[in-house]
Each structure stands twice: as structure tokens, then as C-alpha cells.
Amino acid sequence: MRDVAIIGAGINKWGELWGKSLRDIAVESALKAVTDAKVDRVDSVFVGCMSSGLFTGQEHLASVLADYLGLCPVPVTRVESACASGGLAFKAGFAEVAAGMAEIVLVVGAEKMTDVGGNEATYALGTAADQEYECYNGATFPGLYAMMAARHMHEYGTTRRQLSLVAAKNHDHGLKNPNAQFRARVTPQEVEESVMVADPLRILDCSPITDGSAALILCPLELAKKLSKNPEVKVLGIGHATDTIALHSRESLTTLRAVREAGARAYKAAGVKPSDIDLAEVHDCFTIAEIMVTEALGFAHPGEGGKLVESKATSFGGKIPINVSGGLKSKGHPVGATGVAQLVELTEQLRNQAGARQVKNAKIGLAQNMGGTGGSSVVTILGAD
């Protein structure tokens, strides 16, 4: 297999993009990535999108994207794995370059979620859970993550304040990101006084409904040295794993097995360990998710993820800064785009181009993207070559 590098990155301003269609959003970030890479062609495209049919009524995104980027007849493939769709689209693009099937590959993640009402959005997102056993009986994602949070608090003594600190931290980080949906400081007290959604989770524990996209250009590392004047960012390793879709089939409500296994595979492929990671972008769809992910990835021992955020180790300037982009909580969560956007953030960090949120001496970054309550997860490790 060939070594693979990222030579182009693009992202648009996320939020409620009423004046733009899904195709507008996807094309916008794709063109930014192409411009950044300074390439005049792509050989293949992968697009990550969770549920465009339910959110916008548009399926067949492969043809849509080829058409509106003016790329026909270049092959385009759509990838779906719930909220992990973007991360897995990147994996597919990486594999095609590494295998020698293409030289220059465009990866796009996109979702437009605000063209429907709250009930319709809840239904669309709920399709990532077990329809027969969870959704049929009234479970929603806030409810499912609330059960995970309650059990984590019961088993390990994780506190309400530790959950709040995750939200406050990520909103502080988002203040430095001009593309973030919510650039507003939130205090732990404000989190705890916000509207209850599913005990113990409140509205400010939850990521928002978002429109947005992100894109990357991949090519062989040797070609990157010839094509790009940007600092080279190498894909060091990728790990991917799955778990049961329903919580009731899991061995534990407090362990994200797919994240743990994907992380272990990524560390092995990259030849690194958790202590080698300089920063991470993780899937904080709910505050408890970030805490559990840090444990599954080995940044904290089981049950000590809350203490990790409390120690400020995961804050900007800390030992292992997590979600310096603002994360899903502040930057936003257009579900199919999230995994690609995490890698855009790491690319900018490893190029030393992240502006006010630049992590000092960032050389190795990790992105963790997952679908549902952790039924699928992909972990990608990048390095400054």
C-alpha cells in the first residue's frame, strides 16, 4: 500500500443555511478543498451523507455531486454509516489512493438538516438507532445517551458538573472558530439551568441541528511533494469497528466497544499510543459521549473521563486538547459532514494554520467519528510529515 497525504481542505460556515441547498453546501466546501490543493482534476469522489432523503428528499448524491461539480463522468460513491458517514467516506477515499486505484481523490461530507421541522429531524436521526426495539418503544437519541450517562454516574461517580464542563469547554473553544455554528460562551451553571431533555441531559448537553459540509483532497505522499506547497499531512493509520445497534444488547452501557476497538486498530496501524497524540477531535454529540470516548481511546482510565475534563487536561493549552474546533457541541453537527470536518481541523492544526486555536507543536492528531450510540466508529490518526 502507498502512503497517503492530505493536500487540500475546505469547510464552509456552519449553521442554519436557509439560502443554500444541499448541493450548494457540498459544492462550496469541495471547491474550497480543490482550490487549497491547487489541482486541476480529481480521479474519484466519495461523499459521506447520513440521510439526505429524509432531510431534503434528495438521494443519489453521487450523481448530484458529479453533476454540480462539473466532474461527469468521474466516479462518485456515497458512503453511509449514520453520523460516522463522513469518517468512513474518508476511509474509502484513503483506501482507493493507498491501493493505487486513483491518484487524486476528493472526499466530501455534507448534510442539510434544517429544511424539516423538529419532529421530522428527530425521526431522521432516529433511523440510526434500532427501529424495532428502541424507536418503536419511544426511545430517542437524547434518551439513549441519558441512560448511558445515568449508568456512568451510578457506576463511577461521574458528576453533573463534569458533564457541564464538557459543554463549557467546547463552547470556549468554538469562540475561536469562525466557522462554528454557536460562537457563544456557556457557563457550567447555564448548562445545568437549561431545559431538561432527558434526565440527566439538558439542552446544552446536546449537539445542535446543523447545515454544513467539509471536504478534503487526498493523493499519494510522493505526489503530494510535487503538487502541493502546503505542509504535508500524512495519514498514519485508520481503525474501524462496529457494535450492536441497540443498547440492550451491549455488554455494558458505560463502554463504547466500537470506539475502543477502532482506536486500538488505528494506534497499531500508526505505530503510536494514546500518550503520543497532541490533540483530538472526538464525537461529542452529547457531553457524556466525549467523556466515554476519552476513556475508550485510552486518554483516561474507565470511569475517569469526567475527572480528565475537570483537570483541564482536555482544554486548549492542556495536555491533550480535545475538540479545539468547538466540537459537535459548538461547531455544529451536520451529521454526514462531521467526520470530514474533524479531519479538516486536524489538517489545519498540523499545517500550523489554525489561527487563534492553534495547538502549540501539534505533530500528531486523532479524529474519532461514530454513528448512533456507538454502533459504528472510525478513528483516524494524522501526522505532520
Catalytic residues: 83, 333
Mode of pairing for the β-strands spanning 44-48 and 76-79: parallel
CA distance 58 to 81: 17
Closest CA to 152 of 168, 166, 170, 172: 166
Cell of 174: 468554538
Main-chain phi, psi angles of 111, to 5 degrees: -160, 140
Closest CA to 284 of 323, 342, 254, 239: 323
Alpha helix ranges (H) inside 110-159: 118-126, 141-156
CA distance 227 to 199: 52
Closest CA to 220 of 96, 36, 34: 96
Give strand pairing partners of 369. 378
**CB 345, CB 325: distance < 8 Å:** yes
**CB 22, CB 335: distance < 8 Å:** no
**CB 340, CB 313: distance < 8 Å:** no
DSSP string, 67-81: HHTT-TTS-EEEE-B
Q: What share of the chain is helix, strand, coil (3-state, %, to 5)?
A: 40, 20, 40
Beta-strand (E) ranges in the chain?
4-11, 44-48, 76-79, 105-112, 196-198, 201-202, 211-220, 233-242, 279-281, 364-371, 376-384
Closest CA to 134 of 142, 279, 359, 295: 142
